[in-house]
Each structure stands twice: as C-alpha cells, then as structure tokens.
Structure 1
C-alpha cells in the first residue's frame, strides 16, 4: 500500500462519476461520459434505463460502466432486483450497485438481507462487480457491521455507504471506518453521498474508502488547483 500523497490523477481513479437524477436526459449522460473521460475517472454510473452506453465512448476510452439496482429505496422484491441487474449486465454494465432492503435490516432480518444480495449476485456473475448499498446513515453501528457481514456472506465485491437520496444523509468517515474494519480488505468500500470537496474525498480514503461515488467530480478535483492535497495512506483506485 502506497504512502504517497494523492494527486489529481490518482484520486480520479477512485471515482465512479455519477448521474442518477431522475430528470437526467440522454444528452446529460453523453456529457457525463465526455467529462469522465476528460477527468480520467474509473467509471461512469448511470440509471439502468440509460443503458446501453456507446462502447466507443466508454470502454474503448478507458471507462467502466456502472449502474444501480433497486434504487433508491431497496424495497423491491429480490426477483425484481435480480431481473433488473441481469438486464443491466446484458446491456453492458460492468458494475451494479444494489440497495439492500433497509426495513429488513432495521428489523434485524439479516438472513433476508443476505438472501436479497445473493439473488442479485447470481444475476451479476464475475468478473462483473456487485456493490451493496447499506444506507449507513440510517443504521446503527451494530447494524452497519451486520449489513457488511451479510453482503460479504452473499458474495458481494463492495459495500457502499449511501444512495445519496435518503433523508438520514450520506457518507461519513465514521461509517466508512466501521465498514472498512468489518470487511478487512476482503471487500472494497465505496463512500457515496455528500462527498463534495477535495478534503471530503481524501478523508474518506484515509478512513478506508477504496472507491468514491461523486456527482461533482470536477469540483472535487479542482481542489488541487487551490491547495495541495492532504496526505493519504493510499494511492490508486483498485477494488
């Protein structure tokens, strides 16, 4: 693990450059892709209805394609989530970010949470990547740990803090640290929701995030123009 400070290019490789506003148009998505290429991000993340994306505009230009599933509430039947994920994979998604059944988590029904994730995992075969959104701001510390364990047991590749749509809030460094400690490097940790500045982004990485979901990527990276980036314990954007 590198101890070098993050620079603009290495931070960009942590980023899923994201547009999930329901009013987004195809032109907005095309602009997102162009901006993602220019910024050097890892992937673009769009709503499933925007798939498939033009391969020449994405993979051939170095971008992975991510989408969401059961978004943003997570209260869909597991079979519906699995069908949505399978269609997204068929339409070119490299990565799928699913939302857990938050009500089941709050009720302590962890077998249900695990089975829900497992159903989507079966629809997102390796080497495609499955990220599991646990909506950490709505969970207690104990529930964050249990949700991460359920995701890991179901075969997920990442746990992710937030949809960015829940009124309880988005990512926090405290939640990221708990998630990172729980998965112990066996899964990636994605911080998403409310990460708006360079300082926010670096803090998430320093607390264990291995991926960032950003809708304002250009503004975050512009922080390098104003001030040197804080040091970070990691550099690069692996899983």
Structure 2
C-alpha cells in the first residue's frame, strides 16, 4: 500500500472538489475554510467561485482549480481557450478541460492535440489537466486520448468528470496502467467514487499522482482520528520471567 506518513502528506495528495452547481456563497465559504483547515493540494470549484477562492485562500499555498467545457466537452476550441484565459485572470492556478469525445470517437487526433496545445499556450506555466471520461471509452480510446493529451502539452490526464466514473479499484488501476504505458510522461489524477481512505490509498498505490474527491475533508479527518488522535497506553511489561 502507499506509504502515507501523516495527514499533512495525505492532504497534499488530494484535490478537494466541489462542483455542485447549486451551492450558495455561504456554503462555498464553508467549503473553502475546510480546505484551509487541512491544507489540501488544491480545491476544484466552478468558475463562479474562483474570485472568492482567490480571496479566501490568499494566505495559503492551496492551488485553485476550475473547469472548462464541463461536463460534456463539446464547446469549440475558441470558446475553451477564451474560458481558460478568463479563469487564469480571475485567479485560477489549474485548468481542467474536458476532451471533445466526439472528436476522439472520430479519431480526429490532430484537432484534439491542437486544442490542448492552444489552451496550454494560453495559460503558460499554469497547470493543464485534460479530462478524458474513461468510463465512456474503450481501452484503445483511453490510450489514444492519453497520447493526444501528452502530445498537446497537458500536465495531467484526469479520468473522470465525476458524472461517470470507474466504480472498482481494478477499473481504476486498468486506466492508470493504460495511461502510464501510452503517455508515460504525463501525470495522472483519478476522480470519482473516492470517498474513504482505503480506496484513496489503493488508487495512489495503483499509480495515481493525485486524487480528487468531494469527500477529501472527511477522508483526512478520519485518517487523523485513526492514526494521529488515538491515544494508546501500552500495558506495563516485565522482561524477567516470574517464578
């Protein structure tokens, strides 16, 4: 299993996610305060709340991630590039763009590579993640999607929008293996159904670089309760044999 040393390290591997399209501002503030409490690697939120996150998280090193072409990915390239540019201006550090699966199905790889390349050029040194929705794809399509993302200059491949996601560790590991084989230079983020520590640990052990979870706060708090906040007093022992 993945050797998590403490809750701080665990939080650094989690992108705490809330893409609820009906969340109120006060609820988002509460979410962001929870992110501050545990110091996650990043938050992943809707474009609506990027300026708010920039304000609340200004005194932390938590990165702000947001989505483009979410959740279907069928917007044209110009729209995705413009949306990415606007998010960076508002304070986003990471852009997660959904791949156009129609183009993937039609094997229009040059169009996909060009789109990813344009977005990466626009956002510069900010992180670009390409969501490829593996649950909707055959294995060979996952391989081609990963190759296109790598060639286009993306920093990460992400397996899911969360709407359809692998529901078993073996599916997750299969996806990780495919991405590692066909796009060995790109990093991997896994999302969807990772709602408790055991599953999170299994996915990290399987080769993911980061995990995203709506339940990130609960995962880390539970880990702290079990590993760091439990006081165990050992019984006294004697090293000599009693008569």
Common fold: TM-score over 0.5: yes
Q: Once structures 1 and 2 are overlaid, which stretch shifts more, 68-77 or 169-178?
A: 169-178
Q: Could you tell me how far apart the structure 2 residues matched to 1:102 and 1:6 are?
A: 39
The higher relative CO (CA closer than 8 Å, separation ≥ 6) is in 1
Match of 1:34 in 2: 33
Output aligned runs, 1:102-117, within 5 Å. 102-117=101-116
Aligned residue for 1:60, secondary structure, equals: coil
Q: Once structures 1 and 2 are overlaid, which stretch shifts more, 174-183 or 36-45?
A: 174-183
Aligned-residue CA RMSD in angstroms? 2.2
Q: Once structures 1 and 2 are overlaid, which stretch shifts more, 116-125 or 50-59?
A: 50-59
Match of 1:11 in 2: 10
* Cα shift at 1:169: 6.3
Aligned residue for 2:147, secondary structure, equals: helix
1:6/1:104 CA distance change after superposition, 3 Å = farther
Match of 2:143 in 1: 145
Gaps of 5+ in 2: 228-243
1:74 maps onto 2:58 in alignment: no
1:21 maps onto 2:20 in alignment: yes
Q: Is the 8 A contact 1:32 1:44 kept in 2?
A: no
Deviations 1:8-55 (A, max 9, x none): 221110111111011112222211110011122111111112221354
Which has the larger helix fraction? Answer: 2
Aligned residue for 1:164, secondary structure, equals: coil
In the comparison of the two structures, how many residue pairs are matched? 225
TM-score by length of 2: 0.85
* Cα shift at 1:211: 1.1
Q: Could you tell me how far apart the structure 2 residues matched to 1:59 and 1:119 are?
A: 28
Q: Could you tell me how far apart the structure 1 residues matched to 2:99 and 2:69 are?
A: 8
Gaps of 5+ in 1: 229-239
Larger radius of gyration: 2
Q: Once structures 1 and 2 are overlaid, which stretch shifts more, 18-27 or 104-113?
A: 104-113
Match of 1:211 in 2: 210
Deviations 1:164-205 (A, max 9, x none): 023776972221232233332x22110011111111111111
Match of 1:182 in 2: 182
1:49/1:169 CA distance change after superposition, 3 Å = farther
Q: Could you tell me how far apart the structure 1 residues matched to 2:58 and 2:128 are?
A: 18
TM-score by length of 1: 0.86
1:75/1:88 CA distance change after superposition, 3 Å = same
1:156 maps onto 2:154 in alignment: yes
Q: Could you tell me how far apart the structure 2 residues matched to 1:167 and 1:207 are?
A: 16
Aligned residue for 1:190, secondary structure, equals: strand
Aligned residue for 2:219, secondary structure, equals: helix
Q: Could you tell me how far apart the structure 2 residues matched to 1:220 and 1:84 are?
A: 32
Q: Once structures 1 and 2 are overlaid, which stretch shifts more, 161-170 or 45-54?
A: 161-170
